[in-house]
Structure 1
Amino acid sequence: MSPPLGPPLLIANPSAGGGREGVLPRLTAALHARGLAHDVVVTDGRGHATELARAAVVDDGRRYVVAVGGDGTVQEVVNGLVDAGTGAVRGDDPVLGVVAGGTGCDFVRTFGLDRAPEVMADHLLGEQTLPIDLGRVRLVGPDGTPRTVLFANVAEAGYGGSVTALANRLPRRLGTARYAAAIVGAVVRFRRVDTTVTVDQGTRTEPLCNVVVANGQFFGGGLQVAPRALPYDDLFNVQSWGGAPIDVLRAAPQLRKGTHLGRSDVREWQSTRVEVAADRPLVVEADGEVLGRTPASFDLLHRVLRLKL
């Protein structure tokens, strides 16, 4: 059986959700049980999912690509389906599917798609889609050259970027414990810095520890950092955090419920663009991947890609 969108190509992180006993084997078993024709390719390193997604829609003429993994896998697939520089969709109106796995896939929580692979197999069968926005950031890449990258969910500049950078240097065998250790380690190392944030409403410079640029609502394994973000309204939810990193850590119970926006050390805007610059370069991460450093400029590609619901 072929779904209305054609046979999906699953681009899978092999370690997603526990490897052999994890998400991919359960998903493929469920698809086989439903008689759904599909193909699977497995990534073998950083950036491979982008190459696979680009080749699928440009060279092979596919229209239905499913990212199986965490937020980093989704980000790579998105950058294969859409050209970051021009903002143009590659191929013939491709559709993005996502089956959550890995150490975290917060992007799909906004849509209620953080479900078991057996449940998601049924979702992949239908034809309902939703056009979504993607974030785009222009910044200084890790090698010091200009870089343009797309992201699907949430970006940070400052303390959050430093947490991700530190976590990525820790052994992956630690699993989610890497992030817990990095949160504590970054609290000790990071200091607030005078930061200039420019949004549609104007420009403000003040000492900050973190700037959040959100397209989706959740990050950090279910923290509702941006409860007012809608990934289809052509607006970022932007937040600046003026407290010290320890204050961000203490706000974790509020972040879980999305009640932190009433804090006196948090400012919030809805904006189509964001520019961040600081007295010292800040690490920028998006969707759990370190992208580079400030100065950084963010804009939105409005409803540029269809998401399978």
Structure 2
Amino acid sequence: MWIRVLSMKTIKFNNDERKRTGVAEDLYFIINPVAQNKGSQKIWQQIEKQLLTNNIAYHSFYTEYKGHAKQIASEILSKTDKDTIVAAVGGDGTLHEVINGAAGYPHGIIASIPAGSGNDYARGIQRSKGYMEAISLILNNSPKKIRCVDIGHLETKETQAAFINSFGIGIDAEITYEVNHSAWKSRFNALKLGKLVYIYFFLKKLLTYKRTDMTVVIDGTEHVFKKVWFIVTANQSYFGGGINISPHSEDDDGWFNLIAVHDIPHVKLLLVFITVFWGGHLRLKNVTSFVCREVEITSKSPVKIQADGEIVGDSKVRAKMLMRKIRILAKES
């Protein structure tokens, strides 16, 4: 069996106790042991204490390689038709894999225990702050609700994948690649400054990145953008560790928000970067935004593409909106 069970607790409780705790019939945790410079393991130890203190039955699995969380989530949900919470303990990359494993299973309920560098899903969609508030959602110690939210589906030459936060092409994906392959990520995480690693690489990449022209087909209408820094197609507000790139995005309205930053000199891009933290960038010239349900982007020169912080291809991508496709656990707003 390709899933290695590292921890499984079986604590009996009756139906009245189930209703009191508000926990689903089945509860699974998928832990990425190397997330946040292996800090995810310490977070999981704290979560386990909470589960045992509250006499909560659960199953837990560690991932062992890239793509493993997707396989585990799919395996879990394929063997039951009961409401099942699948919680990712890791960052947005781990959550991305779990979403891809859970898509197509309507009985799945996704949760995130944020233990990564960016944690934009927990911030923007789950609306929780830190791992203790996240586990409180599961244990019913704080106001929560099960929401049905949108996801996107994209295709590149290399792969097909679902995404829940956003996908981007341009300097943002190049930064993502650099972050994920740099020792600096571990160093920032060790100092509890994981979010700042994206800012560090943005400033580093600013002077060397070569802009390119891109053709964008938005719901059947073609647009050509010159000297593009990046194009982000968002399902929620945040990316890159808390950057408010798409302040008008809603995760359940059936629309993507697309933001293209183009024809801007290096110095002005710094202004975009400064204003993006409160959404002021949308009022700047050559920051162009659209709402759409389908989009196709083709880059004139090779450039990377990221989805939920994971590299998924380069140069050409096609995506469509899948409305109210997956159920999640979220804090009441």
8 Å contact kept, 2:235–2:251: yes
1:230-269 to structure 2, matched below 5 A, reads 230-242=250-262, 243-244=264-265, 247-269=268-290
State the distance in 2 between where 1:181 and 1:79 align. Answer: 30
Matching residue of 1:85: none
Q: Deviations over 1:8-49 (max 9, x none)?
A: 101111234552773212222122222221111111221110
- Residue type at the aligned position of 2:272: A
Q: Summarize the alignment of residues 111-190 of structure 1 with structure 2, pairs less than 5 Å apart.
A: 111=125, 113-126=127-140, 128-141=145-158, 147-171=159-183, 172-175=185-188, 176=194, 178-190=197-209
Cα separation, partners in 2 of 1:249 and 1:137, compared to 1, 3 Å: farther
Q: CA RMSD in A?
A: 2.1
Return the index of the structure with the highest Cα Rg.
Answer: 2
- Residue 192 of structure 1: aligned partner: 211
1:202 aligns with 2:221: yes
Instruction: Provide the rounded CA distance (Å) in 1 between the counterparts of 2:268 and 2:48.
Output: 43
TM-score between both structures, scaled by the size of structure 1: 0.89
- Matched residue SS, 2:239: coil
TM-score by length of 2: 0.83
Distance 1:273 1:35, change over 3 A: same
| Worse-matched range after superposition: 177-186 or 276-285 | 177-186
Q: Does the 8 Å contact 2:300/2:315 carry over to 1?
A: no
Q: Which runs of 4+ in 1 moved over 3 A?
A: 1-4, 15-18, 59-62, 175-181, 244-250
Structure 1 residue aligned with 2:118: 104
Q: Which amino acid aligns with 1:187?
A: L
* Long gaps (5+) in structure 1: 83-88, 142-146
CA distance change for structure 1 residues 194 and 111 in 2, over 3 Å: closer, same or farther? closer
Check the 8 A contact 2:216/2:223 in 1, yes or no. Answer: yes
Residue from 22, 26, 44 that aligns with 1:7: 26
**8 Å Cα contact 2:304/2:315 also seen in 1:** yes
Change (3 A) 1:245 1:134: farther
Distance verdict in 2 for CA 1:246–1:14, change over 3 Å: farther
Partner amino acid, structure 2, of 1:31? L
What secondary structure, in the 3-state scheme, does the structure 1 residue paired with 2:315 have? strand
Question: What SS does the aligned partner of 2:327 have?
Answer: strand
Partner Cα separation in structure 2 for residue 254 and residue 57 of structure 1 = 42
Matches of 2:107 and 2:270, distance apart in 1:
42
Given residue 205 of structure 2, which amino acid in structure 1 is its aligned partner? A
The residue matched to 1:239 in structure 2 has which SS?
Answer: strand
| % identical aligned pairs | 23
Q: Give the 3 Å change call, closer, same or farther, for CA 247–73 of structure 1 in structure 2.
A: farther
Residue 86 of structure 1 corresponds to: none
* Residue of structure 1 in register with 2:233 after alignment: 213
Change in Cα spacing, 1:151 to 1:21, as seen in structure 2 (3 Å) is closer
- Contact persistence 2:167–2:307 (CA under 8 A): yes
Aligned length in residues: 297
SS in structure 2 of the partner of residue 107 of structure 1: helix
Shift of 1:211: 0.4
Query: Aligned partner of 1:72: which letter?
Result: G
